[in-house]
Structures are given as C-alpha cells and as structure tokens.
Amino acid sequence: AQSVAQPEDQVNVAEGNPLTVKCTYSVSGNPYLFWYVQYPNRGLQFLLKYITGDNLVKGSYGFEAEFNKSQTSFHLKKPSALVSDSALYFCAVRDMNRDDKIIFGKGTRLHILP
Amino acid sequence: ETGVTQTPRHLVMGMTNKKSLKCEQHLGHNAMYWYKQSAKKPLELMFVYSLEERVENNSVPSRFSPECPNSSHLFLHLHTLQPEDSALYLCASSRNQRTSGANVLTFGAGSRLTVL
C-alpha cells in the first residue's frame, strides 16, 4: 500500500535559519508527491508537487522540496525561515491505482522562533 | 477564501442527534472529498466523488453518509455519532486530470465537530 511517513511531530527553527521538514514515501512505481501547509483555523493549502523531471521542485512562499529516489524521500526546505512559516505541514502521495485518491501523512508542526 | 466553503464551522451534537455538514465549491472542479483530521494522526480520506463515481473507504462507519447532488455540492450526514468522532472534517475539491494524474486539492476551512 502507498504511504508517506513524517518522522517528526515538531520542528523548531530560529528565524533566518534554513529549515527542513522530512518526508519519506513508500510506493510501487514512480510517485506523485505533494506538500501542503495548514495555518491555524484554516484548511490545507497546496505548496508544491513532484511528478517527474528535475529533482528540486520550487513552490509557494519560497519553499522547495528535493526528490531523492534512492532514499525514497521528499524533504521540504527553505533557505531562510520566517516566523510566518509557523504552521502544520503535510506530505502526501497519490495512490498509484486511483488518481483521485491522495494519501496524507500525520503532519509536522513547524515552529519558527523569533 | 479558497473557493471551497464549509458550513457550519463549528458543530456540537449529542450522540442521538442527526446533523449534516455542507460543502460548496465554485471552482468548476469535478471531484469532491471528505477528510477527517484528528490530532497527530494522518488525514483520513473518508469519501470521494469523482466524475460522478463515488469511491468509499470501507472502514468508514455507516453513521457517516455522504451525498453529492451535483458537482458543486457535497454533504456529510451524521447520525448517532460517538465521542471519538469528534474531529475537524475537511472538504476538498479538485479537477480530476486523468492524463496528468497529479490532482491538486483545494480545501475548505473545515467543520469542527464535537460529539458529547
């Protein structure tokens, strides 16, 4: 079965420092991978996706993610964190059998410390 | 405002009540979803309506009943719920792109349900 794992419940980063939020996936075949962000009292918002091509994907708000097939990872990164980046981040993968079924991880809470 | 509107935003109900959650999208999407969000758990996909076909997660109890009268509206009917059903229920929509296979979901703000 397809799945994603987010090993960290929470990540703390000082403002201005680079940040990484980890995600590993388990799928058969080539994965379609996503990152979403949830701010307080809001629904999830799409950040970026990987389908094929360049392993470094750029998304909204200065975020990027690196697809690593050998390590089955899709870590979210940003060179310089902002306090406003504090939120809950979800990694997701498309079900290989159904293109309308997106499977999410449990989320990682990111705290940016001023 | 994302274009996906959920009502009510907050709902408190007893275990014997019947209530419904409503979702409406104005994005011209052809697929709609219900997800359940509980703390420190993966988002749980409950139901999908895609191109007029319903995909149902077999592990969803029958006390949750979806209804999709058209491509813009989605309901989740609730009946004799349990306290463990308390959660944030998220509606989402997408344009089902079978050729690219990378549907991006647009979510509503959610309905916070508390079952007493």
pLDDT digits (tens, 9 = 90+) for B54-99: 776 768 999 999 999 988 999 999 999 999 999 999 999 998 766 5
Name chain B contacts of A42, Cβ cutoff 8 Å.
Answer: 109-110
Q: How many cross-chain Cβ pairs, A to B, lie less than 8 Å apart?
A: 71
What pLDDT digit, counting tens, does each position of A38-76 carry? 998 889 999 999 988 889 999 999 999 999 999 999 999
CA A50 to mean position of chain CA atoms = 10
Classify the C-alpha dihedral A61-A62-A63-A67 as positive or negative. positive
Q: What is the DSSP letter of A29?
A: S
Q: Which residues of A touch B (CB under 8 A)?
A: 9, 32, 34, 36, 41-46, 49, 51, 90, 94, 98-107
Give me the pLDDT at residue B113, please: 96
Determine, for residues A32 and B43 on separate chains, whether the beta-carbon distance falls below 8 Å.
no
CA A108 to mean position of chain CA atoms = 9
Q: What's the one-letter identity of residue B72? A: S
Between B35 and A99, the more confident residue is B35
Q: Which of B12, B9, B17 is nearest to B81 (CA)?
A: B17
Give me the pLDDT at residue B58, please: 63
Taking residue B62's Cβ as centre, other Cβ atoms within 10 Å add up to: 7
Contact residues for A88 (Cβ-Cβ < 8 A; gap 6+): A37, A38, A39, A107, A108, A109, A110
Taking residue A84's Cβ as centre, other Cβ atoms within 10 Å add up to: 10
User: Above 60 in pLDDT, residue B3?
Assistant: yes
Q: Which of A33, A114, A113, A16 is nearest to A68 (CA)?
A: A33
Backbone phi and psi for residue B91, each to the nearest 5 degrees, phi listed first: -100, 145
Determine, for residues B40 and A44 on separate chains, whether the beta-carbon distance falls below 8 Å.
no
Task: Out of A49, A51, A104, name the one closest to residue B43 (CB).
Answer: A104
Determine, for residues B102 and A106 on separate chains, whether the beta-carbon distance falls below 8 Å.
no
User: Above 80 in pLDDT, residue A98?
Assistant: no
Q: Which of A56, A48, A28 is nearest to A89 (CA)?
A: A48
A72 burial level (CB within 10 Å; 0-12, 13-18, 19+): middle
Contact residues for A58 (Cβ-Cβ < 8 A; gap 6+): A48, A64
How far does A48 lie from chain B, in Å, by closest CA?
A: 9
For chain B, how far is it from start to end, CA to CA, in angstroms? 30
Name chain B contacts of A9, Cβ cutoff 8 Å.
Answer: 40
The answer to whether residues B36 and B87 touch, using CB atoms and an 8 Å cutoff, is: yes
User: Above 70 in pLDDT, residue B52?
Assistant: no
Rounded to whole angstroms, the Cα distance separating A39 from A42 reads: 5
Give me the pLDDT at residue A92, please: 95
Q: What is the mean pLDDT of residues A11-32?
A: 94
Name chain B contacts of A90, Cβ cutoff 8 Å.
Answer: 43
Q: What's the one-letter identity of residue B89? A: Y
List Cα–Cα distances, A40 to A109, B10, B15, B66, in angstroms: 11, 15, 28, 26
Name chain A contacts of B4, Cβ cutoff 8 Å.
Answer: 43
Give me the pLDDT at residue B105, please: 93
